[in-house]
Amino acid sequence: MADISEGWSETMDAIEETQKICDQVKPQVEEKTKRCYEEFIAVKYRSQVAAAASFLIKVHVGGCSYLHLKLLQNAESQIVTVDVQEDHCKDDCLVPF
């Protein structure tokens, strides 16, 4: 059964638009984690639309390593990195945090 808590969509496979969002926030994520990523590939995502759009995205960063990103689209339509969870693996569920 899908976890659709707090208005979040079901987890879906990443699409081209998801990767474009990841490409935009990669420098923000690298600054937050103090790491540089050669690979930064969107794998899965969830979205929530309320006053502003929010996204949870699972990103493959090489080997067996994955990040979970929490992003927000602000009033100026810019995507901002709210939080990053490190040390995830391929099978970890993408849950709101």
Local confidence pLDDT in tens for the 97 residues of the chain:
344 456 899 999 999 999 999 999 999 999 999 999 999 999 999 998 776 789 999 999 999 999 999 999 887 888 999 999 999 999 999 999 9
Give the three-class secondary structure for 29: helix
- Cα separation of 47 and 72, whole Å? 10
What topology is assigned to 8-88 in CATH? Nuclear Transport Factor 2; Chain: A, (3.10.450)
- Cα separation of 73 and 51, whole Å? 10
User: Quick one: pLDDT at residue 7?
Assistant: 85
User: Quick one: pLDDT at residue 51?
Assistant: 67
